[in-house]
């Protein structure tokens, strides 16, 4: 419980006389007591949850109030309000008494600024250390608030909450915002949606009651969101606070001096990297795995463990603070999915430090030091990744100058090998200006050995061909009128395409507008409006049906087309690039889903081979169907990464530089990155699915690519080692290899002694005969991608000749 604190100003001077009239504004007075405070803002239906049972929840008001400044200070109306005269308070409904109507009124005022009229209410009790049990009311001067722990509603947290931490190091009980009951929040969120179609709050997340509290405070004090722990907002933070919360170090002269001093004190060269790291990253680095492990303990075991953990001297102060918070400690009592919260939180920190570290080349000794036997194997991977990362020049972006230097000035023929180009793009990616050309090679519209003139001629014929294909439906009036079976099919396809195009990447400027009236009055979107790019997208997808007459439009295809169209912004050129992309993606969209299944099975085998311990865990969690990678594989991580990252990822994958199925190594890299969390916290299919789905928007692309590359090399070595053992490939072995022998024979018996059993099993695979390598796994060494096999009669309709009718 928070300790008492002493209000800074003379308390007798800090209340308004309830009978005293403000000169400018009429005053609502309260007569129950003689003194009052100005109620600036309040929000209703903010609850304290004293026990896990909803029965015990206590509804109340959170409020920002203004005390009267001490009389000795000359009242200057232009003076900003001194934060020590502001009180942030929570009062249970039951304690408000006759002021209730005033609270309700102010709650519903919904003005950006404090009310013009002065609403006076009785002063709240100061702090609550000694209040009788059951009354959780408290108030604290804003100047005494150190930070707010703000958790918007999300998975498992249907009520968003705020915890107030005082400068004295105390936490008040968590306040839960029951937005669905709060009239003002409902009204505000509706207004927001109406006004600018943006139901999202300040943080870009869903608007909720807590956003309002932050907004109130920002009117009077500086509120800084922590860079490391996104749920922490610091109130009027000092520089030190900012630094320890992982704000990018401010480069000013004093900071520079400190660093120099630190560097000078450092004895070995290994310490130098440490010296330039901010203190927080440093702590995380030195405590890296043990910290994660301890988080696991907090969530799996008890309050007691958490208390013990507080004795750990390595614990960063903000983590300590968080753990002290009774709300967090009792998480596991409250919700089944609570452990996910801490897990994700811990992962967020790790991810952040990964970003910070991006430029530091790891020293092998550092790595060894950090290593923990439990995760040893994959730490070694990090060393490998570290070495790859150190290869700085290869990861430079290919700019126009470099690109142009590869081509003969007069003939336009490539003067280095195609492999060299692919290697550069695989590692560095393309600058936007390069994409318009490079992608046409990567997507096999242009042959690598063509001349400039050949390409110009080729593109001309492609343009004609596009116009011809498009004309097939465009000029077919009876089909467009929906006549007959063909017409019905065409209409249905058009509806599907239209519905998805209107839901595809509308946040990207070229797809955002609705400025053009819809060309088709019968369309489901005729009232909404469209834009020229959306219309082009629809036409291209309809035209693709004329090119590939067997597939039909499938959801996800619009996701694949959008980036290509956006880069070229020329329908004919983009169409053929899309055709090239679909060559390799077609199997994802087959009617029987065989292509998706095949990839999920391959991924299953890959994980089995590369990380049998993790695989065992996933098997126990009934997740070895790897369905949780379905979305990532179907549209190549389109929904997981931001737009720019998608472009970078795809062009790398298109090179086939290491493998025609490198996207599965990316999946493995994502999985390995989250291995610890998955192993420690996720026990069921739904938990795994939710966790992986929610990685969307949080994955750091560069380190993922590096990790995927390291994993590929490791995979290659594993297979080579196995082949050596088997004297494979022996000449004339046409027979497919036997599958890994894993199937579910022992799953029912393996529950109790699981950890040791699994560990032994993992090793057993590597000893003796070693793993058997399936055909699917071996195929991943190939730089060819997997095409859908066409029946001979289809074949002639493919490629560069017109589609069959």
Partner 1 sequence: MSSRKKVLLKVIILGDSGVGKTSLMNQYVNKKFSASYKATIGADFLTKEVLVDDRLVTMQIWDTAGQERFQSLGVAFYRGADCCVLVYDVNNQKSFETLDSWRDEFLIQASPRDADSFPFVVIGNKIDVGDNKRLVPQKRAMAFCQSKGNLPYFETSAKEAINVEQAFEVIARHALAQEEAEEYTGDFGSSTIVDIGADSGDDGCAC
Which among 68-76, 685-693, 724-732, 772-780 is the span making contact with partner 1, rule CB under 8 A? 685-693
Q: Which residue has the tokens 């597939």?
A: 551
Interaction partner, residue 363 (ligand GTP, partner 1, none; CB < 5-8 Å by kind): none
Interaction partner, residue 43 (ligand GTP, partner 1, none; CB < 5-8 Å by kind): none
d(CA 585, CA 787): 8
Please tell me what DSSP assigns to residue 476: -
- Quick check: 395 binds partner 1 (CB under 8 A)? no
Scanning residues 543 to 572, which ones bind ligand GTP (CB under 6 A)? 555
- Quick check: 503 binds partner 1 (CB under 8 A)? yes
SS3 31: coil
Exactly one of 170, 179, 212, 709 binds partner 1 (CB under 8 A); that residue is: 179
Find the helix or strand (DSSP H, E) in which 207 lies.
Answer: none
Q: Which is nearer to partner 1, 298 or 688 (CB)?
A: 688
Q: Which residue has the tokens 């009389």?
A: 71
> Please, which residues have CB within 8 angstroms of residue 158's CB and are 6 or more apart in sequence?
none
d(CA 62, CA 47): 9
Q: Which residue has the tokens 């219309």?
A: 535
Which among 401-409, 465-473, 624-632, 794-802 is the span making contact with partner 1, rule CB under 8 A? 624-632
State the helix-helix crossing angle for 183-196 and 100-109, rounded to 10 degrees. Answer: 10
d(CA 688, CA 231): 23
In whole angstroms, how close is the CB of 524 to ligand GTP at the nearest point? 8
d(CA 714, CA 781): 12
d(CA 39, CA 37): 6
Which among 47-55, 389-397, 450-458, 537-545 is the span making contact with partner 1, rule CB under 8 A? 47-55
In whole angstroms, how close is the CB of 686 to ligand GTP at the nearest point? 19
- Quick check: 620 binds partner 1 (CB under 8 A)? no
- Dihedral sign (CA 576, 578, 581, 584): negative
Which among 53-61, 249-257, 442-450, 572-580 is the span making contact with partner 1, rule CB under 8 A? 53-61
- Quick check: 555 binds partner 1 (CB under 8 A)? yes
In whole angstroms, how close is the CB of 429 to partner 1 at the nearest point? 25
How would DSSP label each residue in 108-142?
HH--SSPPSSEEEEPPPPS--TTSPTT---EEEEG
Q: Which residue has the tokens 């389109």?
A: 638
Site string for partner 1, 644-683 (x = CB under 8 A): ----------------------------------------
Exactly one of 307, 460, 524, 733 binds partner 1 (CB under 8 A); that residue is: 524
Interaction partner, residue 52 (ligand GTP, partner 1, none; CB < 5-8 Å by kind): partner 1
Exactly one of 25, 32, 50, 158 binds partner 1 (CB under 8 A); that residue is: 158
Scanning residues 483 to 512, which ones bind ligand GTP (CB under 6 A)? 502-503
C-alpha distances in Å from residue 712, one per residue of 2, 474, 582, 610: 54, 47, 25, 10
Q: Which is nearer to ligand GTP, 26 or 193 (CB)?
A: 193
632-658: string of b/e by CB count within 10 Å (b at 16+)? bbbbbbbebbeeebbbbbbbbbbbbbb
Q: Which is nearer to ligand GTP, 451 or 555 (CB)?
A: 555
d(CA 214, CA 287): 33
Exactly one of 104, 206, 221, 276 binds partner 1 (CB under 8 A); that residue is: 206
Reply yes or no: is the peptide bond before residue 729 cis, omega within 30 of 0: yes
Interaction partner, residue 186 (partner 1, ligand GTP, none; CB < 5-8 Å by kind): partner 1
How would DSSP label each residue in 37-86?
EEEEEEEEEEEE--SSSGGG-EEEEEEEEEPPPPTTS---TTSPPPGGGE
d(CA 310, CA 321): 9
- Of 89, 62, 67, 95, nearest to 184 (Cα)? 62
Residue 113 dihedral angles phi and psi, to the nearest 5°: -105, 165
Site string for ligand GTP, 673-712 (x = CB under 6 A): ----------------------------------------
Beta-strand relationship, 138-141 and 35-48: unpaired
Q: Which is nearer to partner 1, 357 or 631 (CB)?
A: 631
In whole angstroms, how close is the CB of 634 to partner 1 at the nearest point? 6
Exactly one of 1, 81, 109, 155 binds partner 1 (CB under 8 A); that residue is: 155
Q: How open is the CA angle 634-639-644, to the nearest 5 degrees?
A: 115
- Quick check: 448 binds partner 1 (CB under 8 A)? no
C-alpha distances in Å from residue 532, one per residue of 223, 517, 519: 43, 10, 11
Exactly one of 289, 627, 643, 713 binds partner 1 (CB under 8 A); that residue is: 627
Q: Which is nearer to partner 1, 61 or 589 (CB)?
A: 589
Q: Is 204 left (phi over 0), alpha (psi -120 to 50) or beta?
A: left
Site string for partner 1, 459-478 (x = CB under 8 A): --------------------
Distance of CA 92 to the CA centre of its chain: 37
* β-bridge mates for residue 104, sequence order: none
- Quick check: 634 binds partner 1 (CB under 8 A)? yes
With CB atoms as reference, the residue minimizing the distance to ligand GTP is 503
Q: Which is nearer to ligand GTP, 397 or 554 (CB)?
A: 554
- Quick check: 639 binds partner 1 (CB under 8 A)? yes
In whole angstroms, how close is the CB of 500 to ligand GTP at the nearest point? 7
In whole angstroms, how close is the CB of 158 to partner 1 at the nearest point? 5
- Quick check: 554 binds partner 1 (CB under 8 A)? yes
In whole angstroms, how close is the CB of 157 to ligand GTP at the nearest point? 23
* β-bridge mates for residue 163, sequence order: 149
Q: Which is nearer to ligand GTP, 591 or 767 (CB)?
A: 591
How would DSSP label each residue in 749-798?
T-STTHHHHHHHHHHHHHSTT-PPPPHHHHHTTSSSPPPPPPPHHHHHHS
d(CA 712, CA 707): 9
Scanning residues 70 to 99, which ones bind partner 1 (CB under 8 A)? none
- Quick check: 640 binds partner 1 (CB under 8 A)? no
In whole angstroms, how close is the CB of 643 to partner 1 at the nearest point? 13
In whole angstroms, how close is the CB of 578 to partner 1 at the nearest point? 18
The residue ranges that bind partner 1 (CB under 8 A) are 52-55, 153, 155-156, 158-159, 179-180, 186, 189, 193, 197, 199, 206-207, 336-337, 492, 496, 499-500, 503-504, 506-507, 524, 554-556, 558-559, 589, 591-593, 596, 625, 627-628, 630-631, 634-635, 639, 685-686, 689-690, 693
The residue ranges that bind ligand GTP (CB under 6 A) are 502-503, 555
């Amino acid at each position: 419980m928070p300790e008492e604190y002493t209000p800074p100003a003379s308390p007798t001077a800090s209340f308004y006389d309830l009978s005293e009239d403000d000169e400018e504004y009429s005053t609502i007075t309260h007569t129950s007591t003689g003194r009052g405070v100005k109620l600036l803002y309040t929000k209703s239906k903010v609850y304290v949850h004293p026990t896990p049972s909803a029965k015990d929840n206590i509804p109340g008001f959170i409020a920002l109030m203004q005390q009267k400044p001490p009389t000795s200070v000359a009242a200057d109306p232009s003076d900003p309000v001194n934060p020590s005269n502001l009180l942030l308070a929570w009062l249970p409904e039951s304690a408000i008494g006759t002021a209730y109507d005033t609270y309700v009124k102010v709650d519903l005022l919904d003005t950006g600024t404090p009310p013009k009229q002065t609403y006076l209410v009785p002063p709240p009790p100061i702090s609550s250390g000694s209040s009788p049990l059951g009354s959780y009311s408290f108030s604290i001067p804003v100047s005494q608030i150190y930070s707010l722990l703000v958790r918007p509603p999300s998975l498992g947290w249907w009520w968003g909450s705020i915890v107030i931490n005082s400068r004295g190091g105390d936490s008040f009980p968590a306040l839960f915002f029951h937005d669905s009951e709060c009239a003002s929040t409902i009204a505000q969120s509706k207004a927001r949606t109406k006004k600018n179609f943006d139901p999202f709050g300040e943080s870009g997340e869903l608007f909720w009651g807590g956003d309002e509290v932050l907004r109130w405070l920002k009117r009077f004090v500086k509120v800084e969101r922590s860079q490391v722990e996104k749920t922490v907002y610091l109130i009027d933070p000092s520089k030190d606070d900012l630094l320890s919360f992982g704000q990018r170090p401010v480069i000013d002269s004093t900071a520079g001096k400190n660093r120099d001093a630190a560097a000078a004190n450092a004895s070995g060269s290994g310490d130098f990297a440490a010296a330039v790291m901010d203190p927080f990253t440093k702590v995380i680095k030195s405590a890296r795995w043990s910290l994660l492990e301890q988080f696991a303990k907090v969530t799996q075991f008890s309050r007691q463990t958490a208390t013990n953990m507080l004795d750990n001297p390595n614990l960063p102060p903000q983590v300590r603070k968080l753990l002290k918070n009774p709300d967090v400690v009792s998480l596991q009592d409250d919700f089944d999915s609570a452990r996910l919260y801490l897990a994700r939180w811990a992962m967020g920190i790790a991810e952040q430090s990964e970003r910070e570290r991006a430029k530091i080349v790891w020293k092998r000794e550092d790595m060894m030091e950090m290593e923990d036997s439990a995760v040893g194997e994959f730490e070694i991977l990090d060393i490998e990744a570290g070495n790859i990362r150190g290869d700085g020049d290869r990861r430079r972006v290919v700019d126009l100058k470099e690109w142009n230097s590869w081509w003969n000035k007069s003939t336009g023929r490539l003067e280095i090998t195609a492999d060299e180009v692919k290697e550069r793009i695989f590692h560095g990616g393309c600058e936007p200006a390069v994409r318009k050309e490079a992608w046409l090679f990567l997507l096999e519209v242009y042959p690598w050995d063509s001349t400039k003139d050949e390409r110009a001629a080729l593109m001309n014929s492609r343009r004609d061909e596009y116009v011809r294909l498009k004309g097939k439906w465009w000029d077919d009036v009876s089909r467009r009128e929906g006549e007959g079976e063909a017409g019905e099919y065409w209409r249905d396809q058009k509806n599907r395409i239209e519905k998805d195009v209107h839901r595809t990447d509308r946040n990207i400027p070229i797809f955002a507008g609705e400025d053009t009236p819809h060309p088709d009055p019968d369309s489901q979107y005729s009232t909404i409006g469209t834009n020229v790019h959306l219309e082009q997208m629809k036409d291209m997808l309809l035209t693709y049906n004329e090119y590939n007459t067997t597939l039909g439009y499938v959801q996800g295809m619009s996701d694949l087309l959008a980036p290509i169209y956006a880069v070229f912004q020329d329908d004919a050129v983009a169409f053929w690039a899309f055709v090239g992309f679909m060559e390799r993606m077609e199997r994802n969209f087959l009617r029987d889903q065989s292509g998706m299944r095949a990839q999920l099975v391959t991924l299953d085998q890959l994980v089995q081979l590369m990380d049998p311990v993790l695989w065992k865990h996933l098997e126990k969690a009934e997740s070895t169907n790897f369905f949780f990678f379905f979305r990532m594989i179907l549209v190549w991580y389109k929904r997981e990464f931001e737009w720019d990252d998608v472009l970078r990822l795809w062009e790398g994958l298109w090179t086939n530089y290491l493998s025609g199925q490198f996207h599965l190594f990316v999946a493995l890299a994502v999985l390995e990155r989250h291995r610890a969390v998955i192993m420690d916290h996720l026990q069921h299919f739904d938990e795994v699915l939710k966790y992986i789905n929610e990685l969307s928007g949080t994955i750091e692309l560069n380190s993922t690519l590096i990790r995927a590359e390291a994993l590929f090399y490791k995979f290659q070595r594993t297979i080579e080692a196995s082949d050596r053992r088997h004297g494979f490939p022996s000449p004339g072995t046409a027979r497919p290899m036997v599958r890994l022998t894993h199937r579910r024979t022992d799953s029912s018996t393996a529950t109790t002694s699981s950890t040791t059993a699994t560990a032994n099993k993992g090793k057993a695979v590597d000893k003796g005969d070693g793993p058997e390598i399936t055909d699917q796994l071996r195929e991943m060494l190939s730089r060819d991608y997997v095409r859908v096999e066409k029946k001979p009669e289809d074949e002639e309709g493919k490629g560069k000749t017109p589609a069959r009718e």
